[in-house]
Amino acid sequence: MQTPSHSRTRHGRRARRSGRYSISFLTLMVCAAALMLWAAAARLSVLINDNQTADAPDSVASTDQKDTVLQSPSVDSTPPLATPLIPEPVETESGEDEEPATEPGQTVPMQAAELPWNLTLVNWEHPLPEDYSAPELVQLRNNQAIDARAYPDLQNMMDAARAEGLSPLICSSFRTYEDQEQLYQDQVELELRRGYQEGEAEEQAAFWVARPGTSEHEMGLAVDIVDTNYQILDQRQENTAVQRWLMEHCWEYGFILRYPTDKSAITHIGYEPWHYRYVGKESAKAIIESGLCLEEYLGGLGIGNGSTEKGTGNER
């Protein structure tokens, strides 16, 4: 028979063993929970990094190699075409697709800013820019001047005419803005004396003398040539021997009769059988053969970029 003291001893041992087991189990549970929390935190970190990588643009450079290395595309490593073979439709504000401005293979009309110097269009619709500065000029006799790039062909044309026994005379060439303004105002005064009201006088004057800033003379590419034997600027100038020869041969030297008698509705300038404009030999030939004026010729056509080099001669 066990004594009470022996019974209490056995119960104390059991309690201590039970307490140790409870502590061990609790420790395991805490460790397991810590491992689960660590795994969840690691997974969350991976997801955050993946999202940041997906949101970054392909063209952003790394911090250390900004100017040399770009990140690779995250989905498709095949580089896109630099230019689509067929223009993509343009979506309008209404959500409807709009046809491309040009068809595949169609030539896009050259803009004014892209024209070569010898084909620069200056007229009532296309004035010279406010900051325009005159090109390098070659000084001719009689205080005349022309763009140095057009000078060699002008000299050759004048020499060829004289070789035919003719007497061409350049009566007007490069003009400053102030020169053109004075000529225009003089014409306005003339039209006022003829009985036109102020607004009508200005319009009528502009038909014969271009407003300042809209004259080809200000570019140094236009010359007024008359026959020494008849120096009046009127329609009878076309009947002189010099004009008959120039109208037939000017294109061979890169010049055109700028304001033909049947193109006034387009040029907005009256017939001037003395005003010749340099456009280069290739374009002059095309304009003469087509029967077009310069405005018509530049209407969406492919344009060559010819030029001339400065030469010497006796037309100074």
Looking at the 3D structure of the chain, how many domains does it have? Answer: 2
245 and 162 housed in the same domain:
yes
Residue 43 lies in a domain: no
pTM passes above 0.95: no
Do 170 and 182 fall into the same domain? no
Tell me which residue range forms the domain holding 155. 114-175+215-297
| 198/225 same-domain check | no
Whether residue 233 is contained in a domain is answered as yes
pLDDT in tens, the chain (316 residues): 555 455 544 555 555 555 555 556 666 676 666 667 666 555 555 444 444 433 433 333 333 332 222 333 333 333 333 323 323 333 434 444 333 344 443 434 445 557 899 999 999 999 999 999 989 999 999 999 999 999 999 999 999 999 999 999 999 999 999 999 999 999 999 999 999 999 999 999 999 999 999 999 999 999 999 999 999 999 999 999 999 999 999 999 999 999 999 999 999 999 999 999 999 999 999 999 999 999 999 985 544 333 323 333 344 4
Dist. CA 247–CA 137, nearest whole Å: 25
- Give which of 229, 226, 231, 242 is closest to 166, Cα–Cα: 242
Catalytic site residues?
272
169 with 278, same domain?
yes
Do 257 and 223 reside in the same domain of the chain? yes
The CATH number covering residue 289 comes to 3.30.1380.10
The stretches of 87-176 forming alpha helices (DSSP H) are 151-163
| 232 and 289 assigned to the same domain | yes
Ramachandran angles phi, psi of 73, nearest 5°? -60, 145
DSSP state of 108: P
Token code pair at residue 203: 């319009």
- 186 and 293 in one domain? no
Q: Do 276 and 254 have their domain in common?
A: yes
Q: Is the domain of 147 the same as that of 219?
A: yes
Give domain status of residue 275, yes or no.
Answer: yes
CA–CA–CA angle 136, 157, 255 (5° rounding): 70
DSSP for residue 52: H
In a domain, residue 253? The reply is yes
